[in-house]
Amino acid sequence: MRFLLPILLFSILHFPSTAQPIDEYIDLQLHPCMHLTYKFFEPGLTFFDEANPPKLSHKHLLDNICYANYFKGNKGSRILCVGALTKELIGSPKRARRIILSQIDHVNNFVAENPDDFAVARSPQELRDLVHYTKKTIFVHCIEGGRNLVNSQEDAQFWADRGVAFITLIHLVDWKYGGSGIRPGFATHLLNFGALFRREEKRGLKDKGRQAIIWLANAGVMTDITHMSDQTRKDVLAFMEEKGIPPISTHDFFKPIHNNPRGMEEEDILNVYRNNGFISLAASGVATKAYRPRADYKAKIEALDSYCNGSIDSYKFTYLSVKDFIESNVSAIYGDSVKLENMTEAQKVNLCIGFETDFNGWLDHHIPRYGPEGCYPIVSGVAYEAVDTLGLAHPGLMESHWRLLENEGVDLAPVRRSSEKFAQLWEQFIANKGKIN
């Protein structure tokens, strides 16, 4: 018996956990290192005094609330994809690389200083092992916006060597890769001003974008199609299907509800899943407010018994609508012989729907449903979830977010399955390194 413990420890450390599925909440993009790109933000991944916590509010525009306290032991999003960003109009490849590296180093140094509670997964196998053999909060490196970062195969490999799992190729401005999806609003139009004078059909995928997707795939790095213009997205989906490269979309929207260039058309969503990819939705009720919705979805919203616009209700309605659309079109994705009721749990992983919070200091998140800033008064004696009275005020409230939805009968299995699908795709990309022509 005295030899049993060493044998067990050896097995844990030396036999990989590939066969064990992951079933965790994974936040597919947030930005706690924004202060390294924009110096006016307070530093992220710092601890506040627990005896004097900051005041919480869903209104945190220009306020980086990515405190490390909220990430520690966070069951609502145990895996965090930390997106490094450059400045939108950066012109120097060397400076762009330096800014991204500073953010990757910041996360790595934070983990080195807090190894009991945090870890970085630089490969899918490390991700699996950390999930199954530790209780740590796990960071995964990613990059939002590839401008001047992917100019060669060597560039792509450079990021792969640093554990970057995916790159959101296009961000808020058109570039040599293709067009950016411009959401409604003065600021987004001003930032991408030149695009307003180009017809949509002229804002498709460029040769440099095609090459970047191939370079990334050959380095084992996934391409995130979020933020692309309608034409660029369609071109990218066709190109990735031709090359057998699965796409992911970490935080775009559903065009029948969100009728703007960031909304994905139904056929585009089906094409993502047909090509072995998956989509993810913004978790914020503010971000998922309906915008010029199609008549049938507008009628559905109006028919709801209760609906607090901009609260968790907006996310709930979007998620359930997308879930119903995907599950109702299983045959359109996999063929007439495949029925949802006959799919195994392993097969249903391919129907996952991820989420991302995009905590970054630039955005507010969903409003509370109850209280002075919500839609309904607080009733004395009623026990409310924190997310119902505070809104989504910080990343640590995601556990309350999911618990509230579960209590309201929402099936969250597709959300949790996204962590396994993410790991599978990462493994697939690494297995196919160097094979894409």
Compute the distance between CA of residue 209 and CA of residue 235 in angstroms, rounded to an integer: 10
Check: CB of residue 376 under 8 Å from CB of residue 369. yes
Categorise residue 62: left if φ over 0, alpha if ψ from -120 to 50, beta otherwise: left
Check: CB of residue 100 under 8 Å from CB of residue 402. no
**In-domain check, residue 116:** yes
CATH of the domain at 242: 3.20.20.140
Single pTM value for the model: 0.93
Per-residue confidence (pLDDT) for residue 7, from 0 to 100: 36
**In-domain check, residue 168:** yes
Which residues, listed in sequence order, are joined to residue 353 by a DSSP beta bridge? 279
Per-residue confidence (pLDDT) for residue 64, from 0 to 100: 79
**In-domain check, residue 373:** no
Compute the distance between CA of residue 360 and CA of residue 110 in angstroms, rounded to an integer: 18
**In-domain check, residue 345:** no
Specify the number of domains making up the chain.
1
Six-digit token pair at 245?
């490269």
Per-residue confidence (pLDDT) for residue 197, from 0 to 100: 57
**In-domain check, residue 89:** yes
> Where in the sequence is the domain holding 193, given as residue range(s)?
24-38+58-285+351-363+413-431
Per-residue confidence (pLDDT) for residue 65, from 0 to 100: 85
Residue type, 379: V
**In-domain check, residue 338:** no
Per-residue confidence (pLDDT) for residue 360, from 0 to 100: 79
**In-domain check, residue 369:** no
Which mean pLDDT values do the consecutive 10-residue runs of the chain (437 residues) have? 38 47 96 92 93 91 88 94 92 95 98 98 98 97 96 98 98 92 65 62 88 98 97 97 98 96 96 98 94 98 96 98 97 92 93 94 90 95 95 92 98 98 98 95
Per-residue confidence (pLDDT) for residue 17, from 0 to 100: 44
Compute the distance between CA of residue 204 and CA of residue 345 in angstroms, rounded to an integer: 37
Six-digit token pair at 275?
């090509």
**In-domain check, residue 1:** no
